[in-house]
Structure 1
Amino acid sequence: MTEQKGDMTLVVTKEGDETLDQTMARARVMPENLAAATLVCTKLVDVPVTDLARELRQQTAAINSGDLTRAENMLLAQAHTLDALFANLTARAMNAKHMDNLEAFMRLAFKAQNQARATLQTLGELKAPKNVAFVKQANIGQNVQVNNGTTGQPTRTRKAKKAQNELLEVEHGERLDTRATGTAGSADPAMATVGEKHRAAKPRG
């Protein structure tokens, strides 16, 4: 069974009880087939697209089994390519006759340099993956009780304030009735309690 696309012929194999449409759909979306078709279109390789797709599937199988040799080689080769591109653009910038051209070449050169750095960083992380620690956080907030005051039952602010006010009225004389009859103090027995008849008719304002 073959799939025709321009001057490229991709041979695909039917699996199980697939229909023709199902087989063609699976073949069209396979990453290796798409990559093979793209490589052939770039004219960088001159091999049948079917053989190229088969080679890419072998490399995919190696990655799935844990062999990262191809990926490491690719990243290193790309870093070298980007480094060469940086050197070329820098040389063109140095030979530029106008400031605008110099700035444009240097801007592209620095982009290539940054991409080379990022590629090498990715390669380093691929060779020595970072250890990621997963910390399980315990939720203990559901059983927390906050007591305002002593360790017993939570105090009630309004009742405590009311009781304190009543205590002040009785013991500390904060709200004593000035019309009530007082008693003479022991320190000065000559001071007698003012009687009802000697009390002013109206309390002073």
Structure 2
Amino acid sequence: MKIENKLRVELKHGETTDQAMARTVTSPECLSASVLTICQNIDHSKITEMVDELRQQTAAIHSDDLSRAESMLISQAHTLDGLFAKLASQALTAGQLDVAERYMRLALKAQNQARATQQTLGEIKAPKQIAFVKQANIGNQVQVNNDDNPARSRAKKNQKAPNKLLEVKHGERLNTRAQGSASRDNQAMAPLG
């Protein structure tokens, strides 16, 4: 008896069979199920069940249930740590320097991946807090927003402040016609009148 290798495809309203097939086989769950059946040596006729399970796990993530993702990350971190230990021990027992160097490079890559995986797990468990501040210093440009009322800030910008170099008191101008004296360096030069 031969078991058919069929993937269950559900038609949505207004969708052709070809469109439904394209949507289904390109879904992340179907693509992952295809790889998993090959990697885990599972009969490919079970692909529909694999897709369904992956859809349930995806739905759990969408409803903020991260327990599966946390379990996966800690398992991967342990696997990578074990891989680091195995590769490091092979590097230490290698007879040739170039072989030992290759093993050590791989060991350190596995160690770094284990660290990154644990860091990701930590960020899932305790997300970084985002702070909204009124002052942002970016590179050489500085922007400071200290006023709570933006309309008042714009009104202040539009008012022209008197130039303190040109006016001593409001309305009193500097005497630009006053005659200066000649400098001590060149007494022959008289100031222009």
Unpaired runs of 5+ residues, structure 1, are: 1-6, 178-205
Q: 1:43 & 1:90 partners in 2: Cα distance?
A: 27
What TM-score results when the alignment is normalised by the length of structure 1? 0.69
Q: Render the CA deviation track for 1:99-151: whole Å, top value 9, x for unaligned.
A: 00111111110110010001001001101111112235646477434543148
| Residue pairs, 1:149-188, within 5 angstroms | 149=164, 150=167, 163-164=175-176, 166-169=177-180, 175=190
Deviation for aligned residue 1:60: 0.5
Contact persistence 2:179–2:191 (CA under 8 A): no
Deviation for aligned residue 1:61: 0.5
Aligned alpha-carbon RMSD (Å): 3.0
Contact persistence 1:147–1:154 (CA under 8 A): no
Determine helix, strand or coil for the equivalent of 1:9.
coil
Q: 1:46 & 1:154 partners in 2: Cα distance?
A: 95
Deviation for aligned residue 1:153: 6.8
Would the alpha carbon gap of residues 73 and 46 (structure 1) be closer, same or farther in structure 2, given more than 3 Å must change? farther
- What letter corresponds to residue 148 of structure 1 in structure 2? N
What TM-score results when the alignment is normalised by the length of structure 2? 0.72
Would the alpha carbon gap of residues 77 and 46 (structure 1) be closer, same or farther in structure 2, given more than 3 Å must change? farther
Q: 1:24 & 1:153 partners in 2: Cα distance?
A: 81
Deviation for aligned residue 1:25: 1.6
Q: Which has the higher contact order (CA 8 A, sep 6+)?
A: 2
User: What's the % identity of the aligned pairs?
Assistant: 47
Q: Render the CA deviation track for 1:25-67: whole Å, top value 9, x for unaligned.
A: 2112211111101111224444601100000000001011110
Instruction: Give the ranges of 4+ consecutive aligned residues of structure 1 lying more than 2 Å apart after TM superposition.
Output: 43-47, 134-148, 150-156, 172-177
Would the alpha carbon gap of residues 176 and 143 (structure 1) be closer, same or farther in structure 2, given more than 3 Å must change? closer
Give the equivalent residue in structure 2 for 1:126.
Answer: 124
Unpaired runs of 5+ residues, structure 2, are: 136-144, 184-189
The aligned length equals: 163
| Residue pairs, 1:1-205, within 5 angstroms | 8-46=5-43, 48-135=46-133, 138=145, 140=153, 143-144=156-157, 145-149=160-164, 150=167, 163-164=175-176, 166-169=177-180, 175=190
Would the alpha carbon gap of residues 173 and 72 (structure 1) be closer, same or farther in structure 2, given more than 3 Å must change? closer
Q: 2:32 & 2:171 partners in 1: Cα distance?
A: 71
Contact persistence 1:90–1:109 (CA under 8 A): yes
